[in-house]
Homo-oligomer: A and B are copies of this chain.
Amino acid sequence: MKIAVIPGDGIGKEVMEAALHVLKGLDLDPEFLYAEAGDECLERTGTALPDETIEIIGEADSTLFGAAGESAADVIVKLRREFDLFANLRPVKSLPGVPCLYPDLDFVIVRENTEDLYVGDEEFTADGAVARRVITRSASRRISRFAFEYAKREGWSRVTAVHKANVLKKTDGVFREEFYRVASDYPEMEAEDYYVDATAMYLITQPQEFQVLVTTNLFGDILSDEAAGLIGGLGLAPSANIGEKNAIFEPVHGSAPQIAGKNIANPTAMILTTTLMLKHLNKTQEAQKIQKALEKTLEEGLVTPDLGGSLGTMEMAAEIAKRI
Which residues of A are in contact with B by a Cβ distance under 8 Å? 70, 72-73, 77, 101, 117-118, 120, 122-125, 127-140, 164, 166-171, 173-174, 196-198, 200-205, 218-219, 221-226, 228-230, 233-234
Report whether B130 and A171 are in contact in the complex, using a CB–CB cutoff of 8 Å: yes
Report whether B233 and A122 are in contact in the complex, using a CB–CB cutoff of 8 Å: no
Q: CA of A255 to CA of B138 in the docked complex: distance in angstroms? A: 34
Q: Which chain B residue has the least Cβ–Cβ distance from A221?
A: B197
Contacts of A196 in B (CB 8 A): 221-222
Neighbour of A128 across the interface among B73, B122, B171, B229, CB < 8 A? B171
Contacts of A223 in B (CB 8 A): 200
Q: Which chain B residue has the least Cβ–Cβ distance from A123?
A: B170
Report whether B101 and A169 are in contact in the complex, using a CB–CB cutoff of 8 Å: no
Report whether B169 and A122 are in contact in the complex, using a CB–CB cutoff of 8 Å: yes
Report whether B117 and A201 are in contact in the complex, using a CB–CB cutoff of 8 Å: no
- 19 new A-B pairs (CB below 8 Å) besides A117-B168, A130-B134, A197-B222? A72-B166, A73-B166, A120-B167, A123-B170, A124-B174, A128-B138, A128-B171, A130-B132, A130-B135, A130-B170, A131-B171, A164-B218, A164-B221, A196-B222, A197-B221, A197-B224, A198-B225, A204-B226, A219-B222
Report whether B200 and A129 are in contact in the complex, using a CB–CB cutoff of 8 Å: no
Oligomer copy total:
2
Nearest-CB distance from A144 to chain B (Å)? 13
Nearest-CB distance from A136 to chain B (Å)? 4
* Also in contact, A205 and B229, with CB within 8 A (given A127-B137, A131-B171): yes
Nearest-CB distance from A235 to chain B (Å)? 10
Query: Could you show 9 A-B contacts with beta carbons less than 8 Å apart?
Result: A101-B101, A101-B204, A127-B138, A128-B134, A130-B133, A130-B135, A132-B132, A198-B225, A200-B229
Q: CA of A130 to CA of B204 in the docked complex: distance in angstroms? A: 31
* Also in contact, A171 and B229, with CB within 8 A (given A101-B204, A166-B73, A200-B200): no
Q: CA of A266 to CA of B129 in the docked complex: distance in angstroms? A: 41
Report whether A140 and B117 are in contact in the complex, using a CB–CB cutoff of 8 Å: no
Q: Which chain B residue has the least Cβ–Cβ distance from A77?
A: B167
Contacts of A233 in B (CB 8 A): 201, 205
Neighbour of A225 across the interface among B134, B136, B197, CB < 8 A? B197
Report whether B135 and A133 are in contact in the complex, using a CB–CB cutoff of 8 Å: no
